[in-house]
Structure 1
C-alpha cells in the first residue's frame, strides 16, 4: 500500500465524520475508511484533530464518539483566522495575501467586502 501524503489521513477522517449523520467511534471511522488501518492509528488521528479543535467528541461508554462540527470551507476559514491572529503585523500579512490572489479571487473578495 503506498504511503499517504502529509495530512491526507486527517482529511479522510474529517470527510468520514462530515458525511456521518451521527457521532462515530474510532472503530466506526476505521471501518468507513476501509483498508487495513490499525485502530490505534485512527484513534491517534482523532485525538490530534480534537486537540486542534477540528473535531468534537462526546463520551460514549468508556471512550468517545467524534463529529466534525465544521464543513471544509469553515474549517479553512478558521485556520486562516488563527494564522492571522498569530502574526504581529496583520496589515503586512493581509497585504501579501491579497497581492498573491488570482484576479478572479481578488474580484470575488472585493465583491464580498462591498456587501
Structure 2
C-alpha cells in the first residue's frame, strides 16, 4: 500500500479485516501467522498510524482499541489520487490503466460512471 511501510500495511489490513476495534494484543494475534513480532513493535506501529491519521483509538480498560479512520477503498482512492497528482500526466496514466482492465472491471467502471454501479 503506497504511503505506508510493509508492516504498517499489514497492520492496517488486520484492522480493516476486523469486525470492530482491536487492541494491540488482538492485532498482534491477527498477524501471528506471518513472522514473529514483539508486542511493543505492534504498539509502536499503531501509535505511528494514529499520529498519521490512519487510525482512531479509544480506551478500553487500560488498553487502547484501534479502528481505521477510513474504509480500505477510501484509503486506496486517496493513495491513487496522490500517485496520479505526482506523475505529471494523470490522464495518460488513467488511459494506460483502463486499457489494462479486464472486461468485468471495464463493465463495472462503465456502470459506476453512469451512476448505475451503486
Q: TM-score, normalised by structure 1?
A: 0.64
Q: Distance in 1 between matches of 2:66 and 2:43?
A: 10
> Partner of 1:21 in structure 2?
20
- 44-53 or 105-114: which moved more? 44-53
> Partner of 1:86 in structure 2?
86
Over aligned residue pairs, what C-alpha RMSD do you find?
3.2
Output one character per residue of 1:74-111: Cα deviation in whole Å (capped at 9) or x when no partner.
22222212212223222112111111212221121111
Residues 20 and 108 of structure 1, relative CA distance in 2, 3 Å threshold: closer
1:102 equivalenced with 2:102 (yes/no): yes
> Partner of 1:77 in structure 2?
77
> SS of the residue aligned with 1:86?
helix
Structure 2: 5+ residue stretches without partners: none
